[in-house]
Structure 1
């Protein structure tokens, strides 16, 4: 991390009244490149170590311009047949991507169209002889986009906190010097430097934010999935850039340029085309601006028609028009099988507690990740120790120091518009999350990945809160003991623990990744002595539905193991698969479909059925003693199908 002098932002540069540009010196650029390289390196570590889960299967399949309907159902099929959707078709185009995606899935198409070009490029360079998609390539694109969030965090921080009124900096310094003597925290933050050094520069805040983004476990988690969340984060950060400029214009009562308004509308429209939840971010921006408008109108009844409000209205109308393009498609999925998993059970105590607890956990995952995967007493001990240490000792200490840092930053008038914009956005976004959870009954905090909506604001606020510790606060009190560490040591500690958290993620020691097909596949191998058939029921409704993505993830893991060791003797023979339709339109019974599918198979064989436990006694398929359970978050039932009596 660069010091104040190293970034070329000493007292002479800061208080001469001349605002430094985006990059104050070559040192700033060098540190930014360094953190980007660190970010990319971490995100590419062990990229294929974790198995692909069902949502990644859908992303890869639709990105290739394929349909889940390509997979034969209600019959026993081979490994190649069930993986047909993961083969690249040379004649597939963007129209196929959009058509199949919108007819079967509940996501907008922007990322999938981008990923198609990327996957074609990867196929040309590292392609599989049989044309199968590369899991590494599918995850490398989000990893690259995740690393790009590092310079984006720097730019957003700089734009949020640059000093548009340099003269105010000296008064801010005097204000702090007058107030620090009365501060109740003077015992824990001693030897604060002069106002020149203590006033946090936007470049230092930007570098701190970039460093936090580089080693954020939550960012690593999203970056190592073949999904569209890292692109959505970049789009939200781009929108926040326009938003912070609008907030600054409102605070200064200055006009906004039409080019900015146009860019804001285009960015907002594209963001919704990446992920519908970006709309929550846009509503949060609108909520903050609405509060500011009401406050100004209470002071002056004519404020609503003064600059910059008329152009902000144009941006709002343009964004709403762009969002309405997707409204019919979004409504078509409402209540579909793909959205019911977030429905809350009202009346239970968990209905009220879970969103709050899960939100706090989502905030903290931005900075650290405890080990939550372990086996045996040693594993349980490690889980307990890391969880207690991080959640009960480190987290309160970190949050307290960030609060103190942000309180100090609030005394700097030049930083207040940025803090108001980013802090207001964070608060409003979380308020909207709670309204959806408690008002609509959809617990969207259940999936930690949805925290991507406000994740950038956490990083920027933390960067602003940590910056004073790097250049101003000389000492920080350790928790529970009367010992102090240097402010820079505290910042380094936060970054180091973040880095350790990234290693927890890349080495699959956290439960953030819920479904783990490799554990199920290993379990099936260990408990099967006969040829294996793996079956699942797949719900098909009148609404768009993806067929069989869970069992396809299991099949892809089988293929990955066989590719790694073609002589793998754990399998008696290559497994076969059955997708039994639970068709809500024709009222088809998946049990009957399963029975018909396995009738012609050579016996005996081991049958593993996922997500249902039908009675198959009539087919001489009997359950062993420990026949059912959950492995890798996949619910299974085991049968041994013997010869049919004549």
Structure 2
């Protein structure tokens, strides 16, 4: 009797908490594996600098500077306050400040023995938040489908999702935004059941939903795309109910509380509008996603979104340096997709057809499709190609994971091996990301610096055209990778330009005339006419390796 009761307790009381703890530990371990192995890129440098309460503005422009001067904004500032962080974000960046304030408080917990801020301290915060999203995913799955199995499978997929791990290993705000997306979707699911049952939304739900949405907007402005997708879902539900009831249900008292949520959320969003519009750096910092909607390639956004969708579930070493590995990885992913897609589609259709699960399936599907539609509208109509940044798909990513978990739950009783195989593919994909064979950084200074040091035996000037903090971050990445001996023989030039590229050319010309020879010029991402003083030097004709994020030319001035 005792043994039977023990097994009953384990299966009923402790099974699900222990399973969830297991997914959390696996997810946490993956997110912290090789956490600092990849060099930070320019967006992460923005996080480091602003979270310290520092600024990029003190870095001198149009003159040769030493690496330690370029990296000075990365030095911890004990005198910086939360107010400094907020002021720097509002006046010098194009993101809201909530995450950066939290990162400031987090990094203050780490004793810094180094000259510069700890990359581990900066990246550990989003990695931890990414792990926290695993049990929250379980909660959303269980809440939406009234099923612990759906919650467990969704949490298991979230734990090993290569896309989730890619975001968690960046010193950026996306994992915090994902937490708010999960919380807001939870409120949407609860609200949809109240709307279906024609019952009033409880006051606590209204307050929580508005508060969550306010925090989401204060974390990332693209969280508003999640809110817009939720709005489309609510409009669809209103239309659906109106068709069934043969009356305008959106005028009923039930819907007035939805309008209260919308009004509160709108006020929380409009608070940030003045600072966003008045920011002098806003347009230049978002220039990379702005394009001519008429001449935009019709296929690029489709491929970019498709790649993001695939990597939410699987990603093998397609960025390996070995061509054979890339080809084999691509073939395996294709075969796996052909096998797994019918399984997921069959499970999805089953959930959609069941009376108990039809509503949450429709709601989460509506969020995904609504967000994707907004991506295409911004891209093709307004010429803002946000599909270029895979990270922006965070706005609907949790909904995808819940739907995958719901689909897998259908075939759990009949084909557990298939479910386990899909999860194992996710685990291998997660290892691919942490091993830097997938979702590599956009900039690879760890590859460029060895090329510079192998080909230049004399002092080096690394020159780039400068417009915003983006270019400063690109050079910071190089400076951070230099070995101690190169720190003393290398200088940087941030040749600033507003509209006229020739201003960068003049800055380069003036700088070269002041440098004692011999030296080598490395023009890295230098988008301006070459200075006459550089043309008098010998151009490097030896073919050198291409490096992600950095286009370069070499001139030897002897």
The alignment status of 1:554 with 2:478, answered yes or no, reads yes
- CA separation of 1:269/1:397 partners in 2, compared to 1, >3 Å: closer, same or farther? same
- 1:280-322 CA-partner distances (Å, limit 9, x unpaired): 0000001100111122223332422335311111001111111
Instruction: Find the counterpart in structure 2 of residue 140 from structure 1.
Output: 124
Residue 254, structure 1, aligned to residue 203, structure 2: no
Q: Distance in 2 between matches of 1:427 and 1:153?
A: 19
Contact kept in structure 2, 1:109 and 1:273, CA below 8 Å: yes
Aligned-residue Cα RMSD (Å) equals: 2.2
Is the Cα contact below 8 Å between 2:41 and 2:477 reproduced in 1?
yes
2:241 is the counterpart of 1:296: yes
**How do 1:154-165 and structure 2 match up within 5 A?**
154-162=138-146
For 1:7 and 1:490, how far apart are their aligned partners in 2?
A: 27
Superposition deviation, residue 344 in structure 1? 3.5
Q: In structure 1, list runs of 5 or more residues that go unmatched.
A: 11-23, 163-201, 474-486
8 A Cα contact 1:265 1:315, kept in partner: yes
Distance 2:221 2:8 in 1: 39
Please list the CA deviations of residues 89-119 of structure 1 after superposition, one character each: whole Å capped at 9, or x if unmatched: 0000111111112222111101000000111
Distance 1:105 1:351, change over 3 A: same
Query: In the aligned structure 1, how far is the partner of 2:8 from the partner of 2:511?
Result: 69
Q: Are the equivalent residues in 2 in contact too, given 1:448–1:512 (CA < 8 A)? A: no
What is the distance in 1 between the residues matched to 2:501 and 2:456?
33
Query: Any residues of structure 2 matched to 1:1-400 within 5 Å, and which?
Result: 25-122=13-110, 124=111, 127-130=112-115, 132-162=116-146, 202-298=147-243, 299-332=245-278, 336-348=283-295, 351-375=297-321, 379-391=322-334, 393-400=335-342
CA contact (8 A) 1:53 1:515 kept: yes
Contact kept, 8 Å, 1:236 with 1:278, in 2: the verdict is yes
| TM-score with structure 1 setting the length | 0.81
The CA deviation at 1:516 is 1.3
Give me the whole-angstrom Cα distance separating, in 1, the residues matched to 2:37 and 2:515.
34
Greater C-alpha radius of gyration = 1
SS in 2 for 1:69: coil
Instruction: For residue 386 of structure 1, report the CA deviation from its aligned partner.
Output: 0.8
Q: Distance in 2 between matches of 1:45 and 1:499?
A: 13
**Aligned residues between the structures:** 549
Contact 1:75 1:598 in 2 (8 A): no
**CA separation in 2, counterparts of 1:128 and 1:152?**
35
Contact 1:627/1:639 (8 A) holds in 2 = no
Partners of 2:474 and 2:487 in 1: CA distance: 23
Contact residue 56 and residue 73 of structure 2 kept, 8 A: yes
Q: Which whole-Å deviations, capped at 9, do the CAs of 1:458-511 have from their partners, x for residues lacking one?
A: 1000000001222x22xxxxxxxxxxxxx1111111111111111111111124
C-alpha distance 535-587 of structure 1, shift in aligned 2 (>3 A): closer
CA distance in 1, matches of 2:251, 2:458: 77
Q: Deviations over 1:395-448 (max 9, x none)?
A: 132221111012222343222222122111111111111111111111111111
Change (3 A) 1:148 1:598: same
**Does the alignment pair 1:497 with 2:425?**
yes
Match of 2:553 in 1: 637
Distance (whole Å) between structure 1 residues aligned to residue 45 and residue 393 of structure 2: 22
CA distance in structure 1 between the aligned counterparts of 2:353 and 2:439, rounded to whole angstroms: 40
Closer/same/farther in 2, CA of residues 352 and 260 from structure 1, 3 Å limit: same
Secondary structure of 1:533 counterpart: strand
Equivalent-residue separation in structure 2 for 1:271 and 1:146 (angstroms): 15
CA distance in 2, matches of 1:608, 1:464: 54
Q: Which residue of 1 aligns with 2:350?
A: 408
The answer to which structure has the higher helix fraction is: 2
CA pair 323-623 structure 1, distance change in 2 beyond 3 A: same
8 Å Cα contact 1:76-1:576 kept in structure 2: yes
Q: CA-to-partner distance for each residue in 1:584-629, whole Å, 9 max, x for gaps?
A: 4x98701111222343333211221211264344354331214788
Cα displacement (A) at 1:7 = 9.4
1:580 aligns with 2:508: no
**Where does structure 2 lack aligned partners over 5 or more consecutive residues?**
1-5
Give the SS at the match of 2:53. coil
Displacement after TM superposition at 1:59 (Å) = 1.0
Cα distance between partner residues in 2 of 1:340 and 1:302 = 44
Between 328-337 and 29-38, report the one with greater CA deviation.
328-337
Q: Which residue of 1 aligns with 2:539?
A: 623
Higher mean displacement: 619-628 or 26-35: 619-628
| Cα distance in 1 for residues equivalent to 2:8 and 2:349 | 24
**Structure 1 position 443 matched with structure 2 position 443:** no
Distance of 1:572 and 1:554 partners within structure 2: 11
Matches for 1:456-475 after TM superposition, within 5 Å: 456-470=398-412, 472-473=413-414
Q: Is the Cα–Cα contact under 8 Å of residues 73 and 581 in structure 1 kept in the other structure? A: yes
CA–CA distance in 1 between the matches of 2:160 and 2:450?
A: 32
CA distance in 2, matches of 1:76, 1:370: 43
CA distance in 2, matches of 1:99, 1:7: 57
Matched, 1:596 2:541: no
Q: What is the CA distance between 1:345 and its match in structure 2?
A: 4.3
Match of 1:172 in 2: none
Contact residue 166 and residue 439 of structure 2 kept, 8 A = no
Structure 2 Cα separation of the partners of residues 97 and 108 of structure 1:
11
CA positional deviation for 1:373: 2.2
The Cα of 1:339 is off from its aligned counterpart by 1.3
Kept in 2, the 8 Å contact 1:66–1:85? The answer is yes
SS class of match (2:183): helix
